[in-house]
Amino acid sequence: MKPSVISILLIVIGAAMLAYQGFTYTTREKAIDLGPIQVTAEKQHYVYLPPVIGGLLLVGGILMLVKSKGR
């Protein structure tokens, strides 16, 4: 991959991490399993994306893009 493609990818990922600082997803788990009777429970999990890492990716991508255009 060319450095400009990687830098644009870093900029997009960094901006997305700053815009969305986390996401949730739901899983289903068996709570009770007694033969023919089954009870499931839905649990929500949250994944936190630190804004510092998003900022570092954004700045790093910008610096790589500027440096690759200077050559």
The CA-to-CA distance between both ends of the chain, in Å, stands at: 17
Quote the pLDDT of residue 2. 75
Cα 31 to Cα 29: distance, rounded to the nearest angstrom: 6
- State pLDDT tens for residues 4-58: 889 999 999 999 999 988 889 999 998 888 888 888 999 999 999 899 999 999 9
This model's pTM is above 0.85:
no
Q: Where are the domains of the chain?
A: 21-69
Q: Which of 24, 34, 1, 48 is nearest to 10 (CA)?
A: 1
